[in-house]
Amino acid sequence: MASYKIDRITEDMHRELTAVLREIKDPLVTECLLSVVRVEVTNDLSYCTVYVSTMEGMARTKAALPGLKSASGYIRRELGRRLQLRHVPELIFKPTDSIEYGAHISRLLHDLEREKPASEEQEAD
C-alpha cells in the first residue's frame, strides 16, 4: 500500500480516536484528561498502536488503560462507521508520559526565564 495512503489513514484515525474518546462513558476514562499523543498503523492495516497520555502522570494513564481496553470494541465500531474502512485495525493502547514530560520542560524553561532577569541585575551592579 502506498505510503501516503497509510499516512492519511493514520491522521484520520488520530482525529477520529480523539473524538470517540470524548464519547466514552467509562469512569476510568472520563475522570482524567486523556489525550491521544500518537497513532501508528501497520502497513497491512491489521494493528493500530495508540499512545495515550494524561496531565496527571503515568500512573493515572495506566489506570485508564483497562477502561480503554474494555471499550475497544465500541471504539473500533465507531472508527469503522466514521472512516468507512473495509477492515478496522485491532487497537493496542499504550501509555506514555509525553504530556507530563512536556509540562515539566515548560516549567523548567519558565523557571529559567524568571531567574534570568535576576542574574542580569546582579551583572549590572
- Residues 91-110: pLDDT tens digits? 999 998 877 777 788 888 88
In this structure, what are the phi and psi dihedrals at residue 94, rounded to the nearest 5 degrees? Answer: -130, 135
What is the set of domains in the chain, with CATH numbers? Answer: 3-97 (3.30.300.20)
How many whole angstroms separate alpha carbon 80 and alpha carbon 106?
37
DSSP 49-83: EEEEEETT-HHHHHHHHHHHHHTHHHHHHHHHHHH
pLDDT higher than threshold 70 for residue 1: no
Residue 108's SS3 state is helix
35-59 residue pLDDT tens: 899 999 999 989 999 999 888 888 8
DSSP 37: E
Record the pTM: 0.78
